[in-house]
Chains A and B, each alone.
Chain A
Amino acid sequence: MSRTLLTRRRLLGFGAAGASSIVLGGCDQFDFLGDTDNSVRAFLARANDLTYRAQRLLIREGALAPEYSESEIRQGQRPNGSRDPNTPEYLALKAKDFADYRLAVTGLVEQPRSYSLSELRNMPSRTQITRHDCVEGWSCIAKWTGTPLSRILDEVKLKPTARFLAFHCFDRLDGNALYYESCDLIDARHPQTLLAYGLNGQALPVANGAPIRVRIERALGYKQAKYVHTIEAVDSFSRFGQGKGGYWEDRGYDWYAGI
């Protein structure tokens, strides 16, 4: 004995009505979450702090990002964001093929100093074939060559108060704000974290961040700051940009970017 409460026709009617109300109803009632000052959004965004802590707990400090073989490089590194900065300082350096370029390492360090491109190239280097994961969702495998950032940090000697590194860049993405990024000291000292000057066996092209870009291989693409001119050791990044630790972070993206 069963009770058939619905005929098939009524059932189809219900289904169609339900489906169309979902599609037509839309989700614009949640558009307030796009406001980065909204308190509900701020609450939801705390999940990103949880992700950061959970991943730092779970993932060994020195755990390496997967490295690939030469045969898995099937295309050039896809450029994104700034591809040809037009700030006067950058144009002047580019005109002389970055011969006058200096990378400044400043802030909370015992011995602030700067490096020319040839000095960086003459330091012990690391080459790695890794996958670049853009926050948008695409990935691209490429071979990066550069100076391990930990070597630079060993030379300048971080002060005990230093907690983050800030990377200051030459490019303005939306015409006025300068690109910048930051990372914690675990990512900074990670063996695969490079100041890259080579890509796929060539000098790093302008489109991909010449003369120096950062590689932090366990993080998404926007952490891989291009066109870097200064690395600053800081105890807080609140005084840069809008205080969130990076150009995209200031625009609502999470700072850690490990997922």
Chain B
Amino acid sequence: MSEVRLRGVTAGYGREAVLDHVDLTVREGTTTAVLGGSGSGKTTLLRVISGFLRPGSGTVEVGGRTVAGPGVWVPPERRGVAYVRQEGALFPHLSVAGNIAFGLPWPRRRHRDRVLELLELVGLTADLADRRPDQLSGGQQQRVALARALAPRPELVLLDEPFSSLDAGLRVATREATARALRASGATALLVTHDQGEALSFADEVAILTLGRFRQVDRPTVVYREPVDAEVAEFLGDAVLLAGTAADGLVDCRLGTLPVGGPVPSGEVQVMVRPEQITLTETGTGQLDATVRAVTYFGHDAVVELDLANDAAHHPLRARVIGLHPPTPGDRVGVSVVGSVRAFPRGRTAAGTDLPVAEAS
């Protein structure tokens, strides 16, 4: 019963509404990642759910209980909503064990078993229990903060960019440990992040938040492969956007005639192709020919900038290839598109802003 449900929630500071009639449901035992840029309302959302900010309108339910709504206000400490912050915010005056046991009812605070169990759950060793927070690394601090949040078995765990202050290697390890711990504890969780990789890899569902509204809420594969519009597509990862014309489930563009997935509009469209859908082959063997203009090498993969042979305007096109044998600039290659592409009606985006006239990639 620890489902979270927001209906028509409006909230903000002073007159400025940061959240604008937001609806969101997080199913019991699942993790939803809210992905948004700065100023999108991510943190406001968490403050509303955790009870540090009263919504202007709408209702918030946690575990079937209305915690905020018309005439209802449950204070933060009685919501069973744990909150893990960007900088763990561990209590500097308490040991690791003291921090973890902080939210436990009083008789159980002195028992070490739950503390040790939680340390293990977040992948830390028992010998850290008596350390002080400032004797821990950043990643360890975040794990302790998570353990502290999980200790009272909350209905819901809120994670506010908990990995963003960690360096790259530590971030991945901590993220994985956190995901494992959340799964193992069966907790319902809401993660807020601006990192699409984090959102996609961590959560059962991803909710894209811009300007105080959810644009799309769905499984990671769906939002990545079938974004509702170009903006969402770009938000979730590198996207190649091309002008095209759609008809009968197919779209014509510079990359040729390609099958469209998802809803199929007709007429002038914007075509979205993920760079990894574009594969390179021997010259002459692909659907098109192209010249390699530049290569950015990342090790595990590489981004290749191409000049299509049939494009007089020389719009660059990006392809993402595995890093084993990347091409070198000047190489001539064959280009093919794997799988279906997305087509969005031209003219106006869902957010109401005009699309750029020029093609973007």
Is the pairing of A and B real?
Answer: no
Give me the interface of B with A, judged by CB distance under 8 Å: none
Give me the interface of A with B, judged by CB distance under 8 Å: none
